[in-house]
Amino acid sequence: MRRRRISGDDDHFDLLPFIAILLCTLGCLLFVTLAIGALNMGGSSDVWDPSGIRDGDKVPILVDWDGDNASVELDTGTVRIPCAIKDGSGSSDAGVQKLVDMMSERSSTSYALFVVRPTGFASFQDIAEQFRNRHLEIGKEPEPQNKKVRLGMRHIQHPTAAVMNNQQRVSLR
């Protein structure tokens, strides 16, 4: 009878392919998890970069217009101003006048850059006319209703921020 010789080489089972497949699967799951997390944390906002601003140029102030409210992005934060334009008459309420007055105070160093939402298309020409009547510069850009938009110029100090003190700031509340 022949005796069988036991050797470690005969009973070898290679785990390397299994581990490689497991690592690839874990890597894909990690990538999908990070991508979903980035989207939920505001990865879908649009950043406008007003490049080419030189010393002495007017700096845009973002005004998000949806037809009922104007959200103004200032150095101190975002201010929401309820505004109403009477249909077709061109007359406006105190909120629109506050917005126009606020931008008029900053007219030497800034201009209003409007993000116009679909719900604000009908009334935008009336509010733009209010700005034109006061000889205020504006810019406009239509955007989808729920798309987040912000200016990518946080590194640029607004010219009026260093000059204005608490007595000169307009009260918006």
Residue 53: name the closest of 158, 172, 124, 139 by CA. 158
- Would the CA dihedral through 127, 132, 135, 140 be positive or negative? positive
Q: Specify the higher pLDDT residue, 52 or 39.
A: 39
Helix-helix angle 121-133:94-105, to 10 degrees? 50
Q: Specify the higher pLDDT residue, 26 or 52.
A: 26
Max avg pLDDT among 36-40, 48-52, 129-133: 129-133
Q: Are 116 and 63 in contact (CB under 8 A)?
A: no
Region of residue 135 (phi > 0: left; psi between -120 and 50: alpha; otherwise: beta): left
Confidence of residue 41 (pLDDT cuts 50, 70, 90): confident
